[in-house]
Copies of this chain bind each other. A is one copy, B any other.
């Protein structure tokens, strides 16, 4: 049986766990950036791909409504 942790140790363990997770999150964010870079090197446009990723996250209904509003605003401002 191990001795109970002191409050200081417990706090340190929480902080270290968070730091490991933050590092993991940065690693995944790097992988995402690299994937966009790889796609770009294959001729795909990363900005448009980011829009696609957002659109695919939306419900079809919400996406169609957004596109309708966008078309309305574009027409109002003469963006043909």
Chain A residues with a Cβ under 8 A of chain B: 10-11, 14-15, 17-19, 21-22, 24-25, 28-29, 31-32, 35-36, 38-39, 42, 44, 49, 52-53, 56
14 interchain pairs, CB-CB under 8 A:
A10-B42, A11-B44, A14-B39, A14-B42, A14-B44, A14-B49, A15-B49, A15-B52, A18-B35, A19-B53, A21-B32, A22-B32, A25-B28, A28-B28
This chain: how many copies in the complex? Answer: 2
* A77 vs chain B, min Cβ distance (A): 30
The A interface is mostly helix, strand or loop, or mixed, namely helix
Q: A11-B39, A25-B25, A25-B32 are in contact. List 19 more A-B contacts (CB 8 A).
A: A11-B49, A14-B35, A14-B38, A14-B39, A14-B42, A14-B44, A14-B49, A15-B49, A15-B52, A17-B35, A18-B35, A18-B36, A18-B49, A19-B56, A21-B32, A21-B35, A22-B32, A25-B28, A28-B28
